[in-house]
Amino acid sequence: MADSDFEVVLKTLKEYPNATAKELAAHIKQHKGSAFTSKNVNQVLYRLLTANLVSRNGSSEKPTWTVSTEWIRKDSSVSTSDRPKVPVGSIDGQTPVIIQIGSTEVRVIFENTSSVNDPYMNPDWVGSYVLATVNCNHPFWTLRLHNDNERSLFSVMVAQDAYIQWKSSQLHEPPDPKELLVIRDNAMRLTTLSQ
């Protein structure tokens, strides 16, 4: 199973704390032979910052970064009725939304810096922490979603897509269509929504 972009950057940042994006990219290239550029690492770092997984040190153009411990995994033994529910109808595009799928917490964040040509979302994960970054400049978001309820339901769909990609990445072989259907069905059955 290959590491996600989040995992690659966080593992490197744990080894080299207080590094800049450029320094992290150099370490990743040296150890992984990866095609990560400073720009790629910088984009990942800002998504990690939105998810409270890293801290930015300094306000200059070249800040340094450290791993944060703010995002603590919730106890998966908590009953479904006690878990946070997605606040249907309250998507403001600024605040991350937490959507519970079974015992997995998916954080949906909204960003306005992507191009209209970029994908509708970008999934990332670190272990069992799953994050979906919504491209708020995507034509579907800007032209098809007209109110908070529509944006909220779209956010649930995006969270489920990120969850499905995360689950399928854990399989040792590429999943066949039936396996993906089972994963998708479970995601829909296990998503907790508010009334």
At residue 160, the pLDDT reads 95
pTM (two decimals)? 0.69
Give ranges for CATH 1.10.10.10 in the chain.
5-67
100 SS3 class: strand
Instruction: Check if CATH label 1.10.10.10 holds for domain 5-67.
Output: yes
Kindly report, residue by residue over 88-124, the tens digit of the pLDDT.
Answer: 555 666 678 888 898 898 989 898 888 999 999 999 9
Which has more confidence, 169 or 75? 169
Kindly report, residue by residue over 47-98, the tens digit of the pLDDT.
Answer: 888 777 888 888 777 899 998 865 544 433 334 444 445 455 556 666 788 8
β-pairing verdict for 129-135 and 121-126:
antiparallel
Model confidence band, residue 46 (pLDDT cutoffs 50, 70, 90): confident
Kindly report, residue by residue over 133-152, the tens digit of the pLDDT.
Answer: 999 999 999 999 988 888 88
Question: What element of type H or E holds 43?
Answer: helix 38-50
Mean pLDDT value across residues 22-35: 83
Mean pLDDT value across residues 182-188: 89
10 to each of 29, 62, 68, 147, how far by Cα in Å? 14, 18, 10, 36
For the purposes of burial, counting CB atoms within 10 Å of the CB of 63, is it exposed (0-12), middle (13-18) or buried (19 or more)? Answer: middle
Q: Is the pLDDT of residue 38 over 50?
A: yes
- What single-letter DSSP state applies at residue 173? S
Question: 41, 29 in Cβ contact below 8 A?
Answer: no
Whole-angstrom distance, CA of residue 49 vs CA of residue 8: 15
Mean pLDDT value across residues 156-167: 94
